[in-house]
Structure 1
Amino acid sequence: MGGDTVQLILAGVFLLFLIYLIGGLLLKPLKLVFKIVVNSLFGLLLLWAFNFFGAYFHFFIPLNWLTVLIAGFLGLPGLILLIFLRLVLGT
């Protein structure tokens, strides 16, 4: 193995490392957006199900971007928080 071959291998390894770093930097925001979208869809589904059953008691939580995000990020505790706020504030 000559010196040129070793340099070529090291350059290849360094290039792969750079591609890995740049790829990670580019994919991280996409993963965050994907997570927000999935959580928001879960929150929408959770609120829709609650409003479906809450209609029998004339109690509902409005569907808007804030309530969907709260229910999506916090899950069931977020839904309980929204119910509590609806009862306390009476809006």
Structure 2
Amino acid sequence: MIALILGAITAIFLAGIFLKSVKIIVKLLINILVGVIALYIFNLIFSGFGLTIIINPITSFLVGFFGLPGVIALVILKLFL
């Protein structure tokens, strides 16, 4: 009986860890998608000025994770490198 209770507690604990990691991964993917959309809009607006940022997983992650400061950092990198 004790083994059954310990097994159930362990299963609930492992399920909680799994669900938490899935939530983190889903949130990360949503942020990357938001980064892609933000970079696409940025490229639409500023392509007339000759300023575009390549959309790839790294730049999308930076913009999705940092938001507007990420875009500003990428623009500064683009201008000086």
Q: Same fold (TM over 0.5)?
A: yes
Match of 1:3 in 2: none
TM-score, normalised to structure 2's length? 0.83
> What is the percent sequence identity of the aligned residues?
33
1:16 is displaced (CA, Å) by 5.9
Higher relative contact order (CA 8 A, sep 6+): 2
Indicate the SS of the match to 2:55: coil
Query: Is residue 2:8 matched to residue 1:28?
Result: no
Q: Kindly tell me the number of residue pairs found equivalent between the two proteins.
A: 80
Query: Is residue 2:74 matched to residue 1:82?
Result: yes
TM-score, normalised to structure 1's length? 0.75
Query: Is residue 2:79 matched to residue 1:70?
Result: no
Alpha-carbon distance between aligned partners in 1 of 2:42 and 2:8, rounded to the nearest angstrom: 49
Match of 2:42 in 1: 50
1:65 is displaced (CA, Å) by 1.1
Which residue, out of 53, 57, 68, partners 1:61? 53
Match of 2:33 in 1: 41
* Aligned-residue CA RMSD (Å): 1.9
Q: Which runs of 5+ in 1 are unaligned?
A: 1-6
